[in-house]
């Protein structure tokens, strides 16, 4: 069951009350067909996952692939342009699929032609190139290309094609079309006149889910409603890509001239295949210039002689079509009909889920009455005729400020909820709903924001939103899991506020009884934190610290005690001093840290830091986001023997040479943060070792020594001031620094939150220790806790034993555990929390580092580096503390580094920062000016 929670009777009753309160009948599911059985049988891969991006791409059922694969295994399909039997089989099957497509849209080959394309975008481009545009002249103003501003990028992009033909493009606002619709219908143009114009609009907005009237097709074509005034005949292109995935389209009633679509929006598979449905009355007008294989009846190579195919489809399908993918469509139609009974059932089911979620999300309020979300919609979700199963929104804080969509997306990922964020390739709708002016769009670009990135807030203003969308296999549990996520992250006790109660009987409101339960994981004891087997020592005066070739294997549930914590008390220096307390390198990207007390520097950072990475069978770099167990791989480097020893529980240690392979190695192309890197495979032996541990084929690759990866980071507001650095396989910078005092403040907040949640569990049975909310036996929050408020709630629950002793020595989130989650290279101590964010430069002995900016955190900080388990509280609490961007730690790079002699970083070294604002230096006492960092 989605979300991993059992559906309670109260949830069913609440949903039934929602259905009863609807002014029109609503349908959920597919009659006698069990939706839960469908999910288990066809979409077992969704177990534990809530997929809410069906407007981006819906999911294919297992039986579709099974049926298609069986078809391919039993038949021989050849190129349809040949005349042999296998080719004729392909040709005839493709023609049958064309008929099936037209029948799906309630039309026939007499009225429409199916032209297969690479997708809806290719279909739109085809229309732009082939439409009979008339350029302006002495006696005519020429053709117009009009498009609704609430259109996909692929529609707006058509204007570049027509501009090359000297054709005018005119954007039309939805408000103008609605206004024209309300006015008296008087003939504004001659439907039989010249020139020819094209109006393009979406049947459904991919941004908000608004469904625009299909009646506009006939109104515009007849001339009763014109996007712009002037003589001429109007044709209509109906962008149906977002609409047909969850709704029937009857082309016998709504006779658009051109209808582009992509089939993966309907079936999930195949991708890269679409079609342009062309009205038979409009097809003869299309003009074609290029001709490719299969489209010519005859042509001459040495003379400008070419006769196109008579069939419209054959004339425009250049080259060999993707015939196997076309055959897959037949199985898609079969399975969709069998599972759901048809598109009308899908429309009703998905709309019911969207309306329920919209009602529940709209009703959520903070204790001060402020809404939790701002929803962008042109309707009140009154009917599927005006609204598709899409909800676009932004989450607000209790002061009404928008929380960036990137932050919401990261939190959703921690709950295994898949959403879409940004403007969804629809800038026009994004501007209209979010109030973003043209000038702001240009300003955002100058600030570095581009479509598809995670720059979600600029000067406090949103650059996009969050979108959820439902598909035919979506369930009530999916919707409720999403709502629980919003409640758990926004309405749990924080800032001294108790949880609000849902109003009984309110349509769409969720009671606390619908919230999931999660068992709290035991924190390690102090004894577990200290491991005498974890040690790093210096066994040669002229070398660096090394570890045993076969170090004792640590229990994966233990937290290592750092060498520095065993050392002197300088590590707990006062607020006035700045000291390096820990040094970490991560030889294998996303694997466990290797802690040292002194270590050499290279031109890319700490020597061997992120020099290797694990990739899958496709050569794609893995991180703990996809494979959390990477943190259980423990590399140890021995510089004397020139090897890296890799350990993991249950595995024999394996050694990898630090020397590059003397034999010519095949260069592998891979990517790190969109940068292409040259690497080489470290061999089958380590690949087999990794594959055995993870249970799937993985490889270890290393960055080539002769490959240089440069990073360019802009500093501050001076966009012209850039710095460069040579990088290993790190994401963005050579070094990452965090401040122990900042970690301590986060730990205090987490411990306080954990204390309150645990005690509320003891009192009311409503909250579990990891912060996940659930309903106990009381049927709601106890009156006792609601009335007392947070401070009194602690007192009221004081009869329950605290999780920490009277000295507070047992930590719910040990400091070392938190430090390890942030995967920094340099840990400092002796500064106030987050004071490091004021630094512009730092010096550590004779080494100088430039601060490049803050590290914007992702959900990887929720992974316990000793166990591989996730705890959502870390990201949530940091998100609350940082308010807007979840920043923690500083990126550093060398400003000057002389490697003619060895350079080292050492624990205990003094750190000298330079502030951003007044460039003030922190002076060290003369007695403390020890050169712990030598070069």
3-class SS letters over 820-882: HHHCCCEEEECCCCCHHHHEEEEEECCEEEEEEEEEECCHHHHECCCCCCECCHHHHHHHHHH
Local structure of 93: helix, strand or coil: helix
DSSP state, residue 494 = B
Cβ(829)–Cβ(579) below 8 Å: yes
Share in percent of the chain as helix, strand, coil (round to 5): 30, 25, 45
Local structure of 415: helix, strand or coil: coil
Residues 6 or more apart whose Cβ sits within 8 Å of residue 87: 78, 79, 80, 81
**Integer Cα distance of 371 and 362 in angstroms:** 7
Cis peptide bond upstream of 270, omega within 30: yes
Closest C-alpha to 756, from 524, 517, 412, 495: 495
Cβ(297)–Cβ(91) below 8 Å: no
720, two tokens: 């012209």
Closest C-alpha to 829, from 529, 598, 569, 607: 569
- The per-type count for the chain, helices as H runs and strands as E runs, is 24, 39
pLDDT at 723: 55
Local structure of 129: helix, strand or coil: helix
Residues 6 or more apart whose Cβ sits within 8 Å of residue 287: 130, 131, 132
Residues with a catalytic annotation lie at: 425
**Integer Cα distance of 874 and 821 in angstroms:** 9
DSSP state, residue 806 = T
Cβ(628)–Cβ(863) below 8 Å: yes
Q: How many residues does the structure list for the chain?
A: 935
**Integer Cα distance of 62 and 41 in angstroms:** 8
Task: Indicate if the alpha-carbon torsion angle 792, 788, 5, 374 is positive or negative.
Answer: negative
DSSP state, residue 909 = -
Name 172's bridge partners: 148
H or E segment and range at residue 347: helix 343-363
514, two tokens: 């619908």
pLDDT at 79: 92
**Integer Cα distance of 834 and 737 in angstroms:** 12
**Integer Cα distance of 668 and 700 in angstroms:** 11
**Integer Cα distance of 703 and 458 in angstroms:** 36
856, two tokens: 């914007």
Task: Indicate if the alpha-carbon torsion angle 150, 153, 154, 156 is positive or negative.
Answer: positive
**Integer Cα distance of 473 and 903 in angstroms:** 59
Cβ(727)–Cβ(710) below 8 Å: yes
Residues 6 or more apart whose Cβ sits within 8 Å of residue 338: none
Chunked mean pLDDT (size 10), the chain, 935 residues = 34 69 90 89 95 97 97 94 91 95 97 97 97 90 95 96 95 93 59 83 97 96 89 95 98 98 97 97 92 87 89 91 96 96 97 96 92 95 96 95 92 92 94 92 85 84 95 96 91 47 33 30 32 33 37 36 39 61 94 94 90 87 88 94 94 92 58 70 92 93 76 47 69 89 85 55 41 38 37 34 36 80 90 87 89 86 86 76 77 80 89 72 38 34
**Integer Cα distance of 693 and 689 in angstroms:** 6
DSSP for 593-658, please give it.
-EEESEEEEETTEETTTT-EEEEETT-PBP-TTT-GGGGG-EEEEETTTTEEEEE-TTS--EEEES
pLDDT at 874: 78
Closest C-alpha to 193, from 254, 145, 147, 235: 235
Q: What angle do CA 359, 365, 370 make, to 5 degrees?
A: 120
Q: Rounded to whole angstroms, what are the CA distances from 579 to 170, 773, 828, 912?
A: 63, 40, 5, 9
Residues 6 or more apart whose Cβ sits within 8 Å of residue 519: 768
DSSP state, residue 211 = B
Closest C-alpha to 767, from 781, 748, 779: 781
The whole-angstrom distance between residue 259's C-alpha and the CA centroid of its chain comes to: 30
**Integer Cα distance of 663 and 642 in angstroms:** 17
387, two tokens: 């609204």
H or E segment and range at residue 727: strand 722-727
**Integer Cα distance of 658 and 643 in angstroms:** 5
pLDDT at 262: 97
**Integer Cα distance of 110 and 104 in angstroms:** 15
> Beta strand 402-403 with 675-681: parallel, antiparallel or unpaired?
unpaired
Backbone angles phi, psi at 219, to 5 degrees: -60, -40
**Integer Cα distance of 236 and 127 in angstroms:** 11
**Integer Cα distance of 204 and 764 in angstroms:** 46
Name 464's bridge partners: none
pLDDT at 671: 59
Closest C-alpha to 260, from 133, 168, 170, 151: 151
**Integer Cα distance of 841 and 851 in angstroms:** 5
> Beta strand 887-896 with 847-856: parallel, antiparallel or unpaired?
antiparallel
**Integer Cα distance of 213 and 379 in angstroms:** 13
Helix spans in 271-342 (H)? 312-316, 323-340
Task: Indicate if the alpha-carbon torsion angle 10, 27, 371, 447 is positive or negative.
Answer: positive
> Beta strand 196-202 with 144-148: parallel, antiparallel or unpaired?
parallel
Backbone angles phi, psi at 639, to 5 degrees: -70, -25
Residue with tokens 């209808």: 259
The total of other beta-carbon atoms located within 10 Å of residue 693's CB is: 18
Residue with tokens 């009633």: 253
The total of other beta-carbon atoms located within 10 Å of residue 297's CB is: 13
Cβ(359)–Cβ(382) below 8 Å: no
The total of other beta-carbon atoms located within 10 Å of residue 648's CB is: 22
Q: Rounded to whole angstroms, what are the CA distances from 468 to 54, 259, 376, 402?
A: 8, 25, 12, 17
Q: Rounded to whole angstroms, what are the CA distances from 488 to 24, 438, 786?
A: 31, 36, 17
Q: Which domains does the chain have, with CATH numbers?
A: 28-52+343-490 (3.90.1150.10), 68-180+193-340 (3.40.640.10)
- State the burial class of residue 521 (Cβ atoms within 10 Å of its Cβ: 0-12, 13-18, 19+): middle
Whole-angstrom Cα Rg for the chain = 32
């Amino acid at each position: 069951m989605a979300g991993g929670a059992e559906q309670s009777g109260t949830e069913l009753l609440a949903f039934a009350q929602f259905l009863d309160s609807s002014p029109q009948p609503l349908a959920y599911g597919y009659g006698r067909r069990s939706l839960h059985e469908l999910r288990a049988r066809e979409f077992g891969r969704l177990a534990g996952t809530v997929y809410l991006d069906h407007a981006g791409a819906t999911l294919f059922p297992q039986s579709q692939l099974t049926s298609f694969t069986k078809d391919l295994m039993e038949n021989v399909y050849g190129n349809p342009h040949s005349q042999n039997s296998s080719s004729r089989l392909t040709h005839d099957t493709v023609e049958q699929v064309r008929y099936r497509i037209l029948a799906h849209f309630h039309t026939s080959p007499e009225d429409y032609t199916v032209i297969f394309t690479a997708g809806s975008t290719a279909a739109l481009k085809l229309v732009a190139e082939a439409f009979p545009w008339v350029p302006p002249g002495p006696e005519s103003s020429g053709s117009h290309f009009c498009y609704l501003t609430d259109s996909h990028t692929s529609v707006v992009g058509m204007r570049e094609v027509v501009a090359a033909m000297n054709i005018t493009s005119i954007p039309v606002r939805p408000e103008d079309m609605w206004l024209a619709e309300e006015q008296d219908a008087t003939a504004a143009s001659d439907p039989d006149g010249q020139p020819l114009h094209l109006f393009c609009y979406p049947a459904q907005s991919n941004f908000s889910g608004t469904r625009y009237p299909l009646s506009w097709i006939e109104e515009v074509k007849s001339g009763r409603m014109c996007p712009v005034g002037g003589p001429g005949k109007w044709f209509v292109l109906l962008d149906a890509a977002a609409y047909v995935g969850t709704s029937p389209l009857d082309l016998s009633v709504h006779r658009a001239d051109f209808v582009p679509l992509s089939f993966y929006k309907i079936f999930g598979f195949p991708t890269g295949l679409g079609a342009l449905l062309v009205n038979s009355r409009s097809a003869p007008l299309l003009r074609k210039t290029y001709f490719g294989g299969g489209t010519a009846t005859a042509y001459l190579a040495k003379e400008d002689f070419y006769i196109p195919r008579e069939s419209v489809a054959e004339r425009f399908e250049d080259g060999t079509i993707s015939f196997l993918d076309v055959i897959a469509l037949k199985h898609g139609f079969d399975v969709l009909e069998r599972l759901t009974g048809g598109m009308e059932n899908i429309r009703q089911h998905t709309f019911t889920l969207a309306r329920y979620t919209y009602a529940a999300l709209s009703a959520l309020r903070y204790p001060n009455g402020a809404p939790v979300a701002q929803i962008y919609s042109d309707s009140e979700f009154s009917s599927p005729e005006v609204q598709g199963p899409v909800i676009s929104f932004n989450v607000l804080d209790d002061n009404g400020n928008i929380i960036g969509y990137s932050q919401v997306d990261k939190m959703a990922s921690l709950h295994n909820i898949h959403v879409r964020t940004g403007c969804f390739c629809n800038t026009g709708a994004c501007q209209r709903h979010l109030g973003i002016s043209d000038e702001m769009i240009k300003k955002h670009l100058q600030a570095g924001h581009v479509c598809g990135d995670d720059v979600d807030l600029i000067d406090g203003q949103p650059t996009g939103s969050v979108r959820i969308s439902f598909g035919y296999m979506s369930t009530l549990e999916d919707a409720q899991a999403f709502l629980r996520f919003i409640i758990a992250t926004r309405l749990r006790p924080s800032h001294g506020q108790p949880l609000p109660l849902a109003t009984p009987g309110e349509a769409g409101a969720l009671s606390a009884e619908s919230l999931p339960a999660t068992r709290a994981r035991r924190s390690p004891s102090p004894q577990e934190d200290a491991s005498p087997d974890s040690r790093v020592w210096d066994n040669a005066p002229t070398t660096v610290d090394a570890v045993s070739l076969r170090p004792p294997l640590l229990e994966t549930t233990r937290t290592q005690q750092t060498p520095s914590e065993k050392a002197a008390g300088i590590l707990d220096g006062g607020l006035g001093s700045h000291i390096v307390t820990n040094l970490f390198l991560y030889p294998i990207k996303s694997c466990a840290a290797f802690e040292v007390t002194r270590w050499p520097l290279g031109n890319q950072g700490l020597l061997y830091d992120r020099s290797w990475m694990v990739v899958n069978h496709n050569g794609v770099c893995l991180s703990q986001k996809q494979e959390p167990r990477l943190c259980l791989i423990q590399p140890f480097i021995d510089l004397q023997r020139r090897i890296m020893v890799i350990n993991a529980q249950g595995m024999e240690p394996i050694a990898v040479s630090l020397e590059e392979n003397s034999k010519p190695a095949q260069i592998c192309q891979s990517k790190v943060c969109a940068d292409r890197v040259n690497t080489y495979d470290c061999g089958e032996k380590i690949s087999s070792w990794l594959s055995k541990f993870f249970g799937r084929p993985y490889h270890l690759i290393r960055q080539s020594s002769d490959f240089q990866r440069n990073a360019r980071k802009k500093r501050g507001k001076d966009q012209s001031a850039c710095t460069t650095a040579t990088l290993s396989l790190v994401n963005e910078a050579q070094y990452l620094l965090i401040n122990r005092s900042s970690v301590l403040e986060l730990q205090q907040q987490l411990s306080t939150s954990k204390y309150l949640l645990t005690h509320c569990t003891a009192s009311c049975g409503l909250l579990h220790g990891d912060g996940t909310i659930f309903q106990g036996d009381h049927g709601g929050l106890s009156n006792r806790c609601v009335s007392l408020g947070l401070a009194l709630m602690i007192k009221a629950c004081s009869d329950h034993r605290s999780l920490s002793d009277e000295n507070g020595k047992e930590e719910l989130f040990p400091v070392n555990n938190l430090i390890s989650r942030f995967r920094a290279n340099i840990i400092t101590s002796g500064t106030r929390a987050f004071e490091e964010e004021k630094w512009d430069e730092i010096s550590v002995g004779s080494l100088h580092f430039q601060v490049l900016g803050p590290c914007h955190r992702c959900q990887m900080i929720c992974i316990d580096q000793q166990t591989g388990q996730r705890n959502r509280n870390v990201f949530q609490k940091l998100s609350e503390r940082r308010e807007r961007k979840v920043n923690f730690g500083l990126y550093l790079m060398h400003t000057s580094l002389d490697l003619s002699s060895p350079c080292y970083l050492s624990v205990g070294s003094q750190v000298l920062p330079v502030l951003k604002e007044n460039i003030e230096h922190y002076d060290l006492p003369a007695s403390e000016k020890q050169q712990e960092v030598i070069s």
